[in-house]
Amino acid sequence: MASNPTFLAVTRQPAPGSNDGLPESMLEELETSSTRPPWLVPTLQVDSSGYRFLTVDAFYRGVRRLIARVAADDRRMEAARAFLRA
């Protein structure tokens, strides 16, 4: 394993019984569910040797939710508009 403690491996969550990624129904749930799907693995995992794994599917959901929350906040969007006008 890497000796750098900040080293990170990027991985995808395996689809049940498949090597082709998540099925359409799981992707739809990932994008539209207001709660974290119970089948979604943690965004960041650390194994027993300290090796870190960033799961792309979970990270994608987190970033998507963050953007949706910021875009829904009128005060933050007005501040962004003012910043971009300057």
> Taking a C-beta distance cutoff of 8 angstroms, is the pair 56, 45 a contact?
no
Q: What's the number of domains the chain is made of?
A: 1
Q: Which domain holds residue 68?
A: 8-85
Question: According to the 3-state scheme, what is the secondary structure of 19-72?
Answer: CCCCCHHHHHHHHHCCCCCCCCCCCEEECCCCCEEEEHHHHHHHHHHHHHHHHH
- Does the predicted model carry a pTM greater than 0.85? no
| pLDDT tens digits, 31-80 | 899 999 999 989 988 888 888 888 888 999 999 999 999 999 999 999 99
26 located within any domain: yes
Residue 83 banded pLDDT, cuts 50, 70, 90 = very high
- The larger pLDDT score, comparing residue 6 to residue 81, is at 81
pLDDT at 76: 94
- Chain length of the chain: 86
3 located within any domain: no
16 located within any domain: yes
